[in-house]
Structure 1
């Protein structure tokens, strides 16, 4: 039986070290630390993330999976609830650092199961609602800046060139894997994922910067 820490680091303000140290201060020790960097929890399913897929392959009955909170598993309601239920069916115990929640498949009592499932649903729903609220606030801020005549607002400069974007787009149409595309384009897998998730936004970012 092993204890895993899974961390998802989606922004520059988040770090693996912070999530791990917070868990260790709560009394956890780990046999394995697994982290996905720069991957959206909304649009990239747990099984589709490079390290998330690895976690699915490694977990066994009797193992414990620790996460800072359920939003590290993802911010997509259906994905998070499906992931937790899949792990519980395997006999894995899921524990959160925040709120000290424990989810497992040990109980057969229907009332306890209903309470457990309702809590999972509530936490997963909260994670998605928070992500959507943040996204809406960002859109409103951008629109407000433009309404005030701030035409110089461009957002973050793309980490890829027009040539690299074209390469990625062409290879995605050929159904090449993300790893193969990253190698061919010279980009990170996370950047390829971002282009794959929203090619229109990636194109728009290039145009905004005149690239």
Structure 2
């Protein structure tokens, strides 16, 4: 049976554009109908298109991705997906940004397989280390800004002038916290936070 070439692209939020990945995949060339795209947040790694693609992938097929971090969001996940594709599915992987990671060339070559696996481990580790460094720099930047007295986040909502009357009505049990919030035009959590702050 003839092998099928698939492509996978992933962007981590709805704002990011997958166009660069798609152009690279189609230049490979991957047929447009065989390209699967997920737009997901970093926190929620539920990837419906990737799962659909994995079900279709069979022995001898080729999966093309632009860069190794499209396979997962951390070191362990990337290595696990690589294992599933190359060992369980027995499909080939081509990473466009890293020509050494092209298992089509290494299928029957033990040294080639070893080199590809080694390069993958190093790249996955470097990618995760860089993400952790970025997070650390953000944390340090926020701490430094707070030290300088910079207020982060949205400014606190001002209490309307009618707040004391509504508060008294709520304390007297005449209205619920939800009703009080509606009268003041704020969320129930905001009203309760104002009450706790008194």
TM-score by length of 2: 0.66
Match of 1:168 in 2: none
Match of 1:61 in 2: 59
Closer, same or farther: CA 44–126 of 1 in aligned 2, 3 Å: farther
2:39 is the alignment partner of 1:37 = yes
Match of 2:184 in 1: none
User: CA-to-partner distance for each residue in 1:26-46, whole Å, 9 max, x for gaps?
Assistant: x32224111221232xx656x
For 1:102-181, list aligned pairs within 5 A: 102-103=102-103, 106-107=107-108, 109=110, 111-151=111-151, 153-154=152-153
SS at match of 1:95: strand
Give the number of the structure with larger relative contact order, counting CA–CA contacts within 8 Å between residues 6 or more apart.
Answer: 1
Tell whether the 8 Å contact from 2:74 to 2:124 is kept in structure 1 after alignment: yes
Tell whether the 8 Å contact from 2:72 to 2:81 is kept in structure 1 after alignment: no
Deviation at 1:83, TM superposition (A): 0.9
Match of 1:99 in 2: 98
Match of 1:9 in 2: 11
Off by >6 Å, runs of 4+ in structure 1 = none
Closer, same or farther: CA 68–13 of 1 in aligned 2, 3 Å: farther
> Which structure 2 residue ranges, 5 or more long, are not aligned?
155-188, 194-198
Match of 1:49 in 2: 47
User: CA-to-partner distance for each residue in 1:126-177, whole Å, 9 max, x for gaps?
Assistant: 22112112222222222222111111x118xxxxxxxxxxxxxxxxxxxxxx
Partner Cα separation in structure 2 for residue 29 and residue 140 of structure 1: 43
Partner Cα separation in structure 1 for residue 129 and residue 148 of structure 2: 29
Tell whether the 8 Å contact from 1:3 to 1:66 is kept in structure 2 after alignment: yes
Which structure has greater helix proportion?
A: 1
Tell whether the 8 Å contact from 1:75 to 1:124 is kept in structure 2 after alignment: no
For 1:180-199, list aligned pairs within 5 A: none
The match for 2:70 among 58, 67, 72 is 72
Partner Cα separation in structure 1 for residue 109 and residue 24 of structure 2: 32
Superposition RMSD in Å:
2.5
Partner Cα separation in structure 2 for residue 55 and residue 75 of structure 1: 18
Tell whether the 8 Å contact from 2:107 to 2:113 is kept in structure 1 after alignment: no
User: Larger Cα Rg: Structure 1 or Structure 2?
Assistant: 2
SS at match of 1:55: helix
SS at match of 1:99: coil
> Which structure 1 residue ranges, 5 or more long, are not aligned?
156-205
User: CA-to-partner distance for each residue in 1:44-81, whole Å, 9 max, x for gaps?
Assistant: 56xx4222222221211121111111011123111111
